[in-house]
Amino acid sequence: MMTLSISTGSRREMKDVTAKLNRLVAEAKVKEGLLVAYVPHTTAGITINENADPDVPRDILAHLEKLVPPDGPYRHAEGNSDAHIQAGLIGSSVTLIVDDTRLVLGTWQSVFFCEFDGPRNRKLQVEVIAAS
Amino acid sequence: MMTLSISTGSRREMKDVTAKLNRLVAEAKVKEGLLVAYVPHTTAGITINENADPDVPRDILAHLEKLVPPDGPYRHAEGNSDAHIQAGLIGSSVTLIVDDTRLVLGTWQSVFFCEFDGPRNRKLQVEVIAAS
Amino acid sequence: MMTLSISTGSRREMKDVTAKLNRLVAEAKVKEGLLVAYVPHTTAGITINENADPDVPRDILAHLEKLVPPDGPYRHAEGNSDAHIQAGLIGSSVTLIVDDTRLVLGTWQSVFFCEFDGPRNRKLQVEVIAAS
C-alpha cells in the first residue's frame, strides 16, 4: 500500500490527483490490473470527472451544496453533517483499471480528491493489484 | 467468496458491519490486497462513514429521505421506489484495502450496511483478493 | 482488459449490460475473483438495480433529473452540467464478485450503463481479476 498526502486549502474543494496516481502506477510496475484509491476520512471523498473546464468541478461542488446545505437541520453537533452526507453521496474510493502499465482514463477524465470539511491535511491510500 | 447474513429491524437503517468484516479478513490470511463487500439486493446499499456519533448515520438517513421522499410521484407500483433510488445513490459495494492482514480504515470510519426497505433478512457477499 | 461498445439512443437512458458482462466472464475463465466495469466518460455512469419492472430505471432517471435539473444555474458553458453531476452521484465503475466462474448478482439485480448526455457511441472497459 502507498500513501499520498493531500493538503486542502478551503472548506470545500475538488483537487486533481491524476498526476500523482499516474506516478504511483509507473512505480508499481504492474502490467495489467486494478488501482484502488481510498479516502480514510468521513468528511471527504473521491470521484472522477472532467477538469478541462474548471467550471465542471465548480458546478459539482455548488450543486452538492444545494442538495446538502451546510445549515441542516441536522442532529450531529459538530456542524459538519453536510460534509458527512456529501462524502456518502460521492463515495470513499475509486477503482481504476491498469492496462499496459498505465491507468485507463477517458480523454476528459481526471480523478479528484473531494474535500468537504477543510482546510485539512488528508491522506489517500492507494493499492495496485496485478491481474494474474 | 464468503456470505454474511444481516438481519434488519426497521424500514430504513444503517447497520455497522465493520467488526464482521474485520473477522473475515483475519480468517482470510491475506497479507496485502483488497476486500470487496457486495450487496446482492436492489433496495439496500453499503457505505463508509462515522459511527462514533450515532447522529451521523441518523443525519445521513434523514437527509436521503428528504432528497428521495417515500411518496414520489413514482411509477414503480411496489411502493419502494425511494429505496431503489437511495440504493443507487449510495452504491452496491465498497472496496477496502487490506494491509498487513488488516482492513485499512480511518480513525472515524465504520462500514454500514444500508437498509432502505426493511425489515428483512439480507446477505452481504465478501471477496478478499491478494495483491500478488 | 476488454472493451464493450455501447450505443445509446436518447439523451438519458439506462441500458442493461448484464448479459454482455456475463459473456465476458464466461470467456475470462476466472474461477473466483472480481470484475470491474469502468466507464471512461464524464457524462455517463454505471449502476446496479432492478430491471424486472422497467419502471424502476425510469423512476431512477426521473428522480435524478429532479435532483439535478438540466437548466441549472450552472457555469459550465457546454449545457451538460446536469450530466456531469449525475455521473458523479451514480459513479464511474461497479465492482462485482466472480464465484464459480459466474458473476454474483442478486435475483433482482441488473447492471445498467447510465447515459446522461446522449445519444452517443460509448465504451465500457472491463477487467477481470483472479482471486489468487
Per-residue confidence (pLDDT) for residue A72, from 0 to 100: 86
pLDDT average, residue stretch B117-130: 98
Q: C39, C26, C109, A130: which is closest to B93 by C-alpha?
A: C109
Report CA Rg, chain A.
Answer: 15
Q: What is the pLDDT of residues B26-57, one digit of tens each?
A: 999 999 999 999 999 999 999 999 999 999 99
Judged against a pLDDT cut of 80, whether residue A2 lies above it is answered with yes
pLDDT average, residue stretch C9-19: 98
pTM for the complete prediction?
A: 0.98
The reply to whether B44 touches chain C by the CB within 8 Å rule is no
Of A33, A55, A96, the CB nearest to C76: A55
Judged against a pLDDT cut of 80, whether residue A132 lies above it is answered with no
pLDDT average, residue stretch B106-123: 98
Per-residue confidence (pLDDT) for residue B132, from 0 to 100: 74
CA distance readout (Å), A61 to A14, A114, B56, C80, C125: 8, 9, 21, 15, 27
pLDDT average, residue stretch B121-131: 97
CA B34/CA B25 separation, integer angstroms: 10
Q: How confident is the model at residue B96 (pLDDT cuts 50, 70, 90)?
A: very high
Q: C90, C85, C46: which is closest to C69 by C-alpha?
A: C85
CA C40/CA B83 separation, integer angstroms: 28
Q: What is the pLDDT of residues A33-91, one digit of tens each?
A: 999 999 999 999 999 999 999 999 999 999 999 999 999 899 988 999 999 999 999 99
Tell me the ipTM for this assembly: 0.97
Domain boundaries, chain B: 2-130
Q: To the nearest whole percent, how much of chain B has pLDDT over 90?
A: 96
Q: Which residues in chain B (95-114) have CB-CB distances under 8 A to chain C?
A: 95
* B10 in Cβ contact with B83 (< 8 Å): no
Q: Cβ B132–A127 below 8 Å, yes or no?
A: no
Q: A41, A81, A92: which is closest to B54 by C-alpha?
A: A81
Strands C32-38 and C121-130: antiparallel
Q: How confident is the model at residue C132 (pLDDT cuts 50, 70, 90)?
A: confident
Burial of B11 (0-12, 13-18, 19+ CB in 10 A): middle
The reply to whether A17 touches chain C by the CB within 8 Å rule is no
**In this predicted model, which residue has the larger pLDDT, B76 or C68?**
C68
* B8 in Cβ contact with B122 (< 8 Å): yes
Give CATH superfamily name and number for C2-130: YjbQ-like (2.60.120.460)
Q: What is the pLDDT of residues C84-98, one digit of tens each?
A: 999 999 999 999 999
Type of residue found at B22 = N
* C104 in Cβ contact with C97 (< 8 Å): yes
Identify the closest residue of chain A to B53 by CA–CA distance. A76
Per-residue confidence (pLDDT) for residue B69, from 0 to 100: 97
- Residue B101's CB is within 10 A of a number of other CB atoms, namely 13
* Cell numbers representing residue B46 in the block: 453499503
**Minimal C-alpha gap between A90 and chain C (Å):** 6
Return mean pLDDT, chain B: 97
